[in-house]
Amino acid sequence: MVFAIKRIYDPADPADGTRILVDRLWPRGVSRERAELDEWAKDVSPSPELRTEWHHDPDRFDEFAARYRAELDDNPAAADLLARSASDAHVTLLFGARDRLVNHAHVLLDWLRHHGAEVEEPAPPVEPPPVE
């Protein structure tokens, strides 16, 4: 099985396989129908305290990532997600953060890789064309 990550605002694709939202809060402006979710794994997201302390500050990302990895090590929901590698061919972990590079889904994907899961490296973000 392969894990991948994707923004929930990006269109769903059959190649996504099983689609799992890994945010604790429901993303704004996305209906349940449009999300096309198979599961909402709130408990695998960072704790509310950690998320609030970090507040998506890129300068504190390394500290956040280390603390989130420690949370994942003790989180049964993370172990359950890792166990899915035996049953699902492809799992796409969905996140709502604006920043495609500095977010908890990247840390989660790295944690899964470190624990033996096969992961698909995210494509670099596409820069919008310059406005003339």
**pLDDT of 89-106, one tens digit each?**
899 999 998 888 889 999
Sign of the dihedral through C-alpha 9, 14, 15, 16: positive
Give a yes or no: residue 75 inside a domain. Answer: yes
Determine contact, residues 14/101, Cβ cutoff 8 Å.
no
pLDDT for residue 92: 94
- What does the pLDDT look like over 68-85, one tens digit per residue? 999 999 999 999 998 876
Give a yes or no: residue 126 inside a domain. Answer: no
- Report the distance separating Cα 25 and Cα 15, nearest Å: 25
CA distances from 7 to 19, 53, 75, 93, 101 (A): 11, 22, 23, 8, 11
Q: How many domains does the chain have?
A: 1
Residues of the chain under the 70 pLDDT cut: 85-86, 88, 123-132
Give a yes or no: residue 132 inside a domain. Answer: no
Give a yes or no: residue 37 inside a domain. Answer: yes
Q: 94 lies in which domain range? A: 2-119
